[in-house]
Structure 1
């Protein structure tokens, strides 16, 4: 067989020799892993919204539309356990913290506050917290509950 024979030319031009590195990358496994990670994050993201475990009361009210910027969450676990965005706060510190939050808010788009109170907390204590919110100038307050209550 000579140099111009079809067997030699086909193998030499199109085939790879043993010593040359592969110049292509297979991205299919990478895409598969990324899709699995995306699904995992999509499933776990809603579970990470609040860090303070509470036994919220139930209601028949419809949920409100969420504002553009995330609301500040005030969680009331008991009369001596208050949290602002998962950070513990005492009742004595609450007015100063709320005044600082109110000072940062925009006049046209006021800061939204979500109050989450455990069902075992005294209603009077929840009203004290609501009064502190009002005194600080935070008037866009929502009370958070779970699903719908069973009608009797």
Structure 2
């Protein structure tokens, strides 16, 4: 017969105890998994595109007779303005300042070719912002010619 350690009484049987070690191991493994996965879930890029009424778009297209300003970023770090004017990265801000001085809007459309350098494209958009571009829109489809 055993002696109860807590009360000092004699026990006639074995006292059942819950083994919590496997439970603690499972909880720690789950904690580690969530700690690893949580930072990966936060890295998302959301783009909110405002919806426009069809009337506004029609009115803008009628009153706006200027051709949109499109900056093409080609492979091997080449730049074209409106598809025909070659420009270097260094002279881009000055060229855009001159172009925007003659325009009412400061909207720049950026057309990036498939094999263009992503880092270069980001740097070009930063330089375009220096050149006075207020709105920079990345083209997903070619602009329709009227």
- Scaled by the length of structure 1, the TM-score of the pair is 0.47
- Give 1 or 2 for the bigger CA radius of gyration: 2
Which fold has the larger relative contact order, with Cα–Cα distance below 8 Å and residues 6 or more apart in sequence?
1
- Scaled by the length of structure 2, the TM-score of the pair is 0.49
